[in-house]
Amino acid sequence: MTIEALLAVTVGVLFGAGVYLLLRRTVVRLLIGLALVGNAANLLIFVAASLRRGVPPIASVGETAPPASAADPLAQALILTAIVISFGVLGFALALTDKTVQSAGSTDLDDLVEEDSS
């Protein structure tokens, strides 16, 4: 099994586990699922960029190709941006969850919906 196939399986497992946790009825599991899906998306971008390793995203005419071990800076910039954004979203979700749990007294989403309807 090549490293690309192993990383593809890892991405699939992370996405599957993340979606499974997103469908649970506990707020903490929902947040863990959100983090897993974000990490799986970052790994997917990394794997997709490694398939074209050494090929520049924009090449001018007459320019020599970089060595095969060169990393794609576009994918690195996208992953870094996604990490920063997912960290901010996760921090906001944790703060929102903390306030919601303090006001409702429960982490179960069914209890939170019942309090809103009454």
Residues 42-100: tens digit of each pLDDT: 888 888 877 666 555 555 566 666 666 666 777 788 889 999 999 999 999 999 888 88
- Write down the pLDDT at residue 4: 80
Does residue 60 fall inside a structural domain? Answer: no
Does residue 112 fall inside a structural domain? Answer: yes
- Write down the pLDDT at residue 73: 76
Give the list of residues 6+ apart from residue 98 with CB closer than 8 angstroms, or none. Answer: none
Q: What is the CATH number of the domain that holds 80?
A: 1.10.287.3510
108: helix, coil or strand? strand
> What integer best gives the mean pLDDT of the chain?
81
Does residue 32 fall inside a structural domain? Answer: yes
Does residue 9 fall inside a structural domain? Answer: yes
- Write down the pLDDT at residue 55: 57
**CA–CA separation, 31 and 27 (whole Å):** 6
47: helix, coil or strand? helix
Does residue 64 fall inside a structural domain? Answer: no
Does residue 61 fall inside a structural domain? Answer: no
- Write down the pLDDT at residue 110: 73
Q: How many structural domains comprise the chain?
A: 1
- Write down the pLDDT at residue 69: 62
The domain in which residue 78 lies consists of 3-55+69-117
Does residue 95 fall inside a structural domain? Answer: yes
**CA–CA separation, 86 and 93 (whole Å):** 10
